[in-house]
Amino acid sequence: MLAELLAFLRRRITGDYTVDEHGFDPDLTEHIVAPLLRPIYRSYFRVETRGLENIPDKGGALVVSNHSGTVPLDALMTALAILDHHPAHRHLRMLAADLVFALPFLAPLARKTGNTLACQADAERLLGAGHLVGVWPEGFKGIGKPFSDRYKLQRFGRGGFVSAALRTGVPIVPCTVVGAEEIYPMVGNARTLARLLGLPYLPITPTFPWLGLLGLVPLPSKWIIEFGEPVDTTEYTQAAAEDPMLVFELTDRIRETIQHTLYGLLMQRRSVFF
């Protein structure tokens, strides 16, 4: 580990590393960020990953997942699952909300770890260049929903991710995450204070803000991440992306696939923490 750290520092000093047009720094992601997340992935959440064979070894593909957990740790764990356990060790280029790029410390780190703005242009540019792209269509509605609505998918927006996949002809891989809902059970929302702070919500959980900083520690739930069979888009022409009914039908089909998989995985697990 020390040798790897010294080699990393040497590359930073000599400039022997690359950053793409979106600001993605693979060297920093693989040698600094990923090692920090691995103990959480392996020992804390004990993530079990299934269906990685459904992610192509190369070429563009769009991973579409449910979103939950008050704090978007599910996106980080999904990206790490693919980087560490997929045979091709691919990087998941995540489409993130505007708020991520408005925060002083988080914005540059998000860029360096492969995130880009969740907009049609960036999604199509990445997919067209053969990247693996991740999207969480529920957005803040998913991660900020109350605990009473856990594992109930919110709206998937207007299907912009489907349009991007149709225009670039890449497969859509549904992804289902179980376990993230329980890390910060959201029992209340301080809406007035959230508006003053410019946040979409301000969660109240059984531990936060009552326990102070200790309340920020997530509960150690047991996670399962499952990648489903890809939806082939090559049978459609690019003009299909302009057909609102087709886009809606595909969006709803993917949403229903993830919802049914959620129910199935919930029936399989023994408990929240084991």
pLDDT of residue 178: 98
What per-residue confidence (pLDDT) applies to 237? 85
Report pLDDT for 248: 93
Average pLDDT over every residue of 38-64? 97
Q: Which CATH superfamily is domain 51-182+217-273 in?
A: Glycerol-3-phosphate (1)-acyltransferase (3.40.1130.10)
pLDDT, mean of residues 21-32: 94
Q: What is the pTM of this model?
A: 0.94
Return the closest-CA partner of residue 252 out of 123, 142, 158. Answer: 158
Query: Cα–Cα distance between 145 and 186 in angstroms, integer?
Result: 7
Q: What pLDDT does residue 2 have?
A: 84
Q: Where residue 159 falls among pLDDT bands split at 50, 70, 90?
A: confident
Sign of CA dihedral 97, 101, 105, 106: positive
At 188-240, the pLDDT tens digits run: 999 999 999 999 999 999 999 999 999 999 999 999 999 999 999 999 987 89
Which pLDDT score is estimated for 157? Answer: 82
Domain range summary for the chain, segments of one domain joined by +: 51-182+217-273
Where is average pLDDT lowest: 23-27, 111-115, 155-159? 155-159
pLDDT in tens, 100-153: 998 888 999 999 999 999 988 999 999 999 999 999 999 999 999 999 999 999
Please tell me the predicted confidence (pLDDT) of residue 224. Answer: 98
Termini Cα distance of the chain: 31
Residue 28 tokens read as: 């920093």
Structure tokens at 54: 């459904």
- Could you give the CA distance from residue 267 to residue 265 in angstroms, rounded to a whole number? 5
DSSP letter string over 32-100? IIHHHHHHIIIIIS--EEE-GGGS-SSS-EEEEE---SSS-HHHHHHHHHHHHHSTT---EEEEE-GGG
Please report the pLDDT score of residue 255 as a whole number. Answer: 97
